[in-house]
Structure 1
Amino acid sequence: MGGVNAEQALIDHLVATTGLPPTEAGRVIEDVVAYFDEPVEAYVRRRHSQLKTYGAKNDAIFAQLAEELRARVVAAPRLTERQLRRLIYG
């Protein structure tokens, strides 16, 4: 990369592979980083609320949350069902 910071290299890659203008590519990167910057506790609470809205039961929700957390790009720590419950209910 020789003197180009990683952020600029990523912007250049998106511009080359998608045809997006540099400013738009930068905005997309910022959006993706912000999405994955959500703290685990906030993610668990938000997703629990979303899944409850659609009628899911806690046993299924906790299993799904554990799976989703393992699959995140920047992996969250493994949390037990008890830890997930504590994040939601205190």
Structure 2
Amino acid sequence: MTPEDRRAVFSHRKIAAIVKGMTQEDGTDLPITGKSLGEAILFVSEEAATDASAVHIIYGEHGSLSYTDCLSIYREYGAELRSELT
């Protein structure tokens, strides 16, 4: 992910997002809704590391971020994302 890509995603941090690829103990999918893109990036980067390879974020009409994309954005913008939540 390029710096321009990260900046573009960060600029959309307030739009709605869905975290997918998380599973319940019985193996069924557990999509997480009701988060902004910024909140979803923080959640995936900070909380979803136990089974992160399958986790991704869907946002906007065609946007999608992998776990590694989230980590890349988090490294650059994590402090700003976190400060917006407090």
TM bin, normalised by shorter chain, reads: under 0.3
The structure in which a higher percent of residues are helix is 1
Normalised TM-score (structure 2): 0.27
Structure number having the greater strand percentage: 2
Q: Which has the higher contact order (CA 8 A, sep 6+)?
A: 2
